[in-house]
Amino acid sequence: MVMFMAEKHIFLPIVLMLLVVLASANHAVNKEEEADRIISLPGQPKVPFQQFSGYITVEKTAGRALFYWLTEAVSDPLSKPLVIWLNGGPGCSSVAYGASEEIGPFRINKTASGLYLNKFSWNIMANLLFLEAPAGVGFSYSNRSSDLEDTGDIRTAKDSLEFLLRWMDRFPRYKLRDVYITGESYAGHYVPQLAREIMMYNKRTKHPIHLKGIMVGNAVTDNYYDNLGTVAYWWSHAMISDKTYQQLMHTCDFRKQKESDQCESLYSYAMDQEFGNIDQYNIYAPPCNKSDGSTSARRSIQLPHYPHKIFRQLSGYDPCTEKHAEVYYNRPDVQKAFHANITKIPYKWTACNELLNRNWNDTEVSILPIYRQMIAGGLRVWVFSGDVDSVVPVTATRYSLAQLKLSTKVPWYPWYVKNQVGGWTEVYEGLTFATVRGAGHEVPLFKPRAALQLFRSFLKGDPLPKS
């Protein structure tokens, strides 16, 4: 009995000491996290969820820091997974697109004076982490200016992993949470590449990231099959003539990174003379017009896997949404509330950084080998495609995925949302493919209800509803 009491007296101070250490450690983390808390954004309606935003330094020597915006789940966030969203370009902002006109909780009004709620926000079901990557995108920056002229796939993936590890140190409550990575367009590279980095990291650590799956939409996947499928889409949707289609097929070598001048001129002819004044990101939507009826100047964003120039011209229910974002996020009061632009970046915030885009340094020819790795690693892999996008069209995605030669688990069928066909889907061994009927390049912008159903099914790991 005496011996037990002696042990008890020794044990209690040790416990108390440990509690003090843990409390001080948690206080340090919470203090850093608290500094990133968004009290309220200008013109924001009241919301029941917490928001945080700020910077994570991913490379001290160069002074590279990536900006994030976390919108936690509307209810019971501690029980919900962490979903990371990435936009493409390369060079385009997840704050401008994913957060502000697709899956985030807010939309920007037409005067950029304030925000209103998006009732189809994905934070109904998950904690959403919007990451602006690489440095040079949106509010993310580097103190080494040359970083904007030699960035590529490799650095983006490594910096994004470094970001996630350091971000989880700042938000330790997310360390044991299920993680999913989502995105669209050139994030067809970013998302699988980050997943690969995480899988490699998990093999060498005792504290793995709990990555469960990925989902990408209208995703750049494979140089050859994407280009082949894009030209096929143009022809099958009557955007180009039989003659131009045949010339493109016979003249262009879709396996090359740099096409011949003859091929380039054919692409230019198709776009300038045959497409007409359309929004290539949704061929059936009206383009963004100026008040005098003329169309606005088009943003030239060139995807490096394509031999031709792609014009960034947004449309949707409000075809000028990109403009609203560029006004709102350049407001000093918005930047202050966001803890953004604290180093006074020497250029205006833009939805897409064309300097970074033009100087993209390295790009993987095909992402299909990573799909095989993800499937072998047991990750949930979903690929979706808005079927009226002519930039990374459904035919491009189908041609690319066909090369995986996966066996079918559930044959092709129409899936439903609100008693309407939302699109079509097929479930393969290790991968689910779905189309979203009538959606453009940014699926949640054009078909928010269908996109939310897609996300719900993805998180549950269930096939899309048959009725």
Catalytic residue positions? 185, 389, 441
Close Cβ partners of 165 (under 8 Å, ≥ 6 residues apart) = 201, 209
Alpha helices, DSSP H only, in 319-440? 321-328, 332-338, 354-358, 368-376, 394-402
Q: Provide, for the chain, the percentages of residues in helix, strand and coil under a 3-state DSSP scheme, each rounded to the nearest 5.
A: 40, 20, 40
Q: Is 11 helix (H, G, I), strand (E, B) or coil?
A: helix
Whole-number Å distance between alpha carbons of 231 and 259? 14
- Classify strands 115-117 and 51-59 as parallel, antiparallel or unpaired: unpaired
Q: Is 450 helix (H, G, I), strand (E, B) or coil?
A: helix
Sign of CA dihedral 62, 65, 175, 12: positive
Whole-number Å distance between alpha carbons of 42 and 317? 23
Query: Which two structure tokens, joined as six digits, stand for 185?
Result: 């367009």
Residue whose pair of structure tokens reads 């001129």 in the numeric block: 265
- If one counts every other C-beta atom within 10 angstroms of the C-beta of residue 241, the result is 15
Furthest CA-CA distance within the chain: 99
Whole-number Å distance between alpha carbons of 116 and 151? 35
Amino acid at 220: V
Whole-number Å distance between alpha carbons of 432 and 463? 8
Please give the radius of gyration of the chain, using alpha carbons only, rounded to the nearest integer.
23
